[in-house]
Structure 1
């Protein structure tokens, strides 16, 4: 089936409007999980079922950092084993044509938190944020602020990377709680940022814990989902954004304390490139970090199961952009920071046992802002009219058997542009040459069709230009 095919996604029959009326909707009991296997689930026709009642879902949105599209065994990695994430995929829907909102860390986070293109906001123009001059304005509505207004508890654990104190913080943008780091990277044990500052916070106060960072985040997230909030329809729903820094550089796995000490020493000596770890890392070290990420997600999911909330929790897993250096991106071309497929195509898994049958694969093109729109609909709230979304809700596709949305996916970074429509992708790289690719047969973007289909190229280029004209210009 091509990526433009319509899929009738398996769902628990929704029985009416999504969101605040969900408690009265009749839906089906969860299907048994598919048998464990390292192989990707086959694409299939999707099924519907009817049965039990639902409530607005809790939301656990797990974001990896610089994880490539093919770095999970369920996405084809030949050497990395990710049994927990593979099992999550078998319990829900694995998207093959999912994209990040941008090609680097902070712009994609802007697109998730706002549901809009990064270029709609001044802070989103930084690719990525590297100083304290820009951030997500607290006056801008966010996924967290809108869900909080509709009755959700909200928390962000892990990497924020949407601005620094004193002007920017998750607690100023709709999250009730924050525990994590503000910047784009930190040393996993000392918690030092590249400029030598300490970057681990609880709320807006510095927090000291010299254990391995991924372990700390896993414990905090597990504690959050295990909180006693009551049971059944009277329990207050929650949103947890769990943003790991794994497998972002520096290339340090748990137990690499000597390597940690050396990088920490260099940071304290004023080496601002120390965190980049350009003289370190390996494919084997990267494998260890990704497999540790998988174990960590598994522990949080186990805590969710023990809490009794698994059925009514919508779990997302994705990455903020494509892979870097040691990532297994094959057969995609390009990597992080590029608008080639390897820079923006990411793993994307969605599970909601109460509403979506497992063992499914979707080839519908989707990208980060779509999940913001989807979650707002499921929560029974609407975006602020002054800040219209660029993503579209997939709730109808996932839950009501509607046709998937047909629209363009748009990206812009300094020096590059891209637009996907169906199977076709318009791309201009730093060479300045317009290119056209048919992704249905050329996922690697090697057969440029610009000369043989100039009309299509002109149409897609014009569509890109129309959207770009609505965005803020880059500063000079």
Structure 2
């Protein structure tokens, strides 16, 4: 009897060791305002090529029905990292600036904390945009004091990057809790010769008032050595540098996780000079081409260091393309939103259906697949948890459903729970299978679309399918008030009823 127990114990130990040795390194590359049609493998009429994104699809899986959880920066990043819809928090519309209490509360599980607590080294390199706490007020900072309530407090061992989008200021190359060169001078938006937006580049002024005198707008904080077109290069350099330090550990059973949120192709569109003239879509196309180039740098590093086989690379975007997508259609015939309606901020598919690729040579069966099963970026938490054999507690990943079986089983029948989409102005939609109900919102009325026959959402068929609308209306009401869309104990939203829930009452919410 004792021998049997010893044998079982040995088998159990070897099973744990085997699982640990098979855990993949994970890199999540997150672009900013890149539309579905801004990857050439998804858009046969694209006016520029993205060979490295195409490689991810060819050697992995291209998910053609993948969605961000919101249609602007801050809430999408919250959903990606926590597996929970951001509208459950205090942020109901819009985005954060650079300085604010972090939207991710201390103690909430993130991709980083899940993986760190299961033996991973973790790093974030790039744009945060979820709130940070700086010492002092603008003009009266104490940059000798550490930054608080930031990535190092949310599960990451290492951080290099910037606080938010470049138009919000406090721009410097932060590493750990300090700026390498503090943001002690001032600037604001300047004309951009390559696009319709702006640049953040020297010369800078000594005071906000001097900036207003120089360019007509009050200054925002910037470091003397900061320049916008260095972001992609610096972020990629730092990610590779950090992974190099963790290479031997990764080969010895302690894998790494890197979250790499790029600032492109969000404004300012500022491709480096060596990319000028590439593609047939002006400065925007050049900027996406440069972004693709840096993805290629990551892939080449993995290959050169012998990390390629068991590293999962996830590539996706935080929302659909900025409004300039309309001008690109007129000027270049390029559809950044692909065949879909709308773009960034919109509740329609172009606002939240995004490029999504996963490459993992050791873990994906039958690479080169195209998968039309619906997934959401919130699903990464549950997917990673399943891959490393870790259970999620009731108060984590409330809107996260694993799609891990799709990776290993080409014939997997993955049916996602109803997907909730959310626009920047607070409007909701629910999609279940082929049916999408866009909810009433203040004075806007409900709309119902059959995405199978009408993926461009051109024809509202609500009048013909009222029973379907009623079913979906009931489903979204339950998902909102239950604090979760996945099975499990009911959870609390962070606020009570709010006015964007036009289709339901305060009593329905309780």
**TM tier relative to shorter chain:** 0.7 to 0.9
Deviations 1:290-342 (A, max 9, x none): 00000011011111111111100011000001111234213211111111001
* Matched ranges for 1:218-367 at <5 A: 218-230=236-248, 234-255=252-273, 283-327=281-325, 328-356=336-364, 357-367=366-376
The CA distance in 1 between the partners of 2:395 and 2:291, in whole Å, is 38
TM-fit CA distance, 1:24? 3.7
Partner residue in 2 for 1:433: 445
Going from structure 1 to structure 2, the CA distance change for 1:296 and 1:473 (only over 3 Å counts) comes to: farther
Going from structure 1 to structure 2, the CA distance change for 1:69 and 1:127 (only over 3 Å counts) comes to: same
CA contact 2:35–2:338 (8 Å) conserved in 1: no
TM-fit CA distance, 1:127? 2.5
Q: Which has the higher helix share?
A: 2
Going from structure 1 to structure 2, the CA distance change for 1:402 and 1:363 (only over 3 Å counts) comes to: closer
TM-score, normalised with respect to structure 1: 0.78
DSSP-derived class of the 1:125 partner: coil
Partner residue in 1 for 2:179: 206
Partner residue in 2 for 1:15: none
**1:119 aligned to 75, 81, 87, which one?**
87
The CA distance in 1 between the partners of 2:406 and 2:46, in whole Å, is 32
Partner residue in 2 for 1:457: 469
**1:395 aligned to 404, 410, 425, which one?**
404
Task: Tell me the number of residue pairs that the alignment of Structure 1 and Structure 2 aligns.
Answer: 397
- 2:479 is aligned with 1:467: yes
CA contact 1:179–1:201 (8 Å) conserved in 2: yes
Deviations 1:159-200 (A, max 9, x none): 1111112442000111000000111x11xxxxxx534x3343
DSSP-derived class of the 1:155 partner: strand
- 2:121 is aligned with 1:165: no
Deviations 1:119-149 (A, max 9, x none): 2333x43531126344222222211112111
DSSP-derived class of the 1:147 partner: helix
TM-fit CA distance, 1:403? 2.4
The CA distance in 1 between the partners of 2:400 and 2:290, in whole Å, is 32
TM-fit CA distance, 1:223? 1.7
Partner residue in 2 for 1:174: 155
Going from structure 1 to structure 2, the CA distance change for 1:384 and 1:229 (only over 3 Å counts) comes to: same
The CA distance in 2 between the partners of 1:60 and 1:70, in whole Å, is 23
The CA distance in 2 between the partners of 1:380 and 1:233, in whole Å, is 20
The CA distance in 2 between the partners of 1:326 and 1:24, in whole Å, is 50
**1:86 aligned to 54, 63, 70, which one?**
54
Q: Which moved more, 1:326-335 or 1:293-302?
A: 326-335
CA contact 1:102–1:412 (8 Å) conserved in 2: yes
The CA distance in 2 between the partners of 1:411 and 1:421, in whole Å, is 11
DSSP-derived class of the 1:94 partner: strand
**1:373 aligned to 353, 364, 382, which one?**
382
DSSP-derived class of the 1:70 partner: helix
CA contact 1:108–1:321 (8 Å) conserved in 2: yes
Partner residue in 1 for 2:490: none
CA contact 2:308–2:361 (8 Å) conserved in 1: yes
The CA distance in 2 between the partners of 1:283 and 1:325, in whole Å, is 15
Provide the alpha-carbon RMSD of the alignment.
2.4
The CA distance in 2 between the partners of 1:343 and 1:22, in whole Å, is 42
Q: Which moved more, 1:111-120 or 1:219-228?
A: 219-228
Deviations 1:360-418 (A, max 9, x none): 00000111111121012212223233335311111123225542133100123444110
DSSP-derived class of the 1:73 partner: coil
The CA distance in 1 between the partners of 2:93 and 2:444, in whole Å, is 21
TM-fit CA distance, 1:23? 5.8
TM-fit CA distance, 1:429? 6.5
- 2:164 is aligned with 1:194: no
The CA distance in 1 between the partners of 2:235 and 2:291, in whole Å, is 11
CA contact 1:100–1:368 (8 Å) conserved in 2: yes
Going from structure 1 to structure 2, the CA distance change for 1:251 and 1:228 (only over 3 Å counts) comes to: closer
The CA distance in 2 between the partners of 1:101 and 1:199, in whole Å, is 29
CA contact 1:111–1:369 (8 Å) conserved in 2: yes
Partner residue in 1 for 2:115: 147
TM-fit CA distance, 1:74? 0.6
The CA distance in 2 between the partners of 1:23 and 1:88, in whole Å, is 29
CA contact 1:283–1:326 (8 Å) conserved in 2: no
TM-fit CA distance, 1:152? 0.4
DSSP-derived class of the 1:419 partner: strand
DSSP-derived class of the 1:74 partner: coil
CA contact 1:22–1:56 (8 Å) conserved in 2: no
- 2:29 is aligned with 1:62: yes
The CA distance in 2 between the partners of 1:59 and 1:403, in whole Å, is 25
TM-fit CA distance, 1:228? 5.0
Which has the higher relative contact order, 1 or 2, with Cα contacts under 8 A spaced 6 or more apart? 1
The CA distance in 1 between the partners of 2:251 and 2:273, in whole Å, is 43
Whichever of the two has the greater Rg, that structure is: 2
TM-fit CA distance, 1:151? 0.4
**1:404 aligned to 378, 400, 414, which one?**
414
TM-score, normalised with respect to structure 2: 0.73
The CA distance in 2 between the partners of 1:198 and 1:133, in whole Å, is 15
The CA distance in 1 between the partners of 2:358 and 2:55, in whole Å, is 12
DSSP-derived class of the 1:241 partner: strand
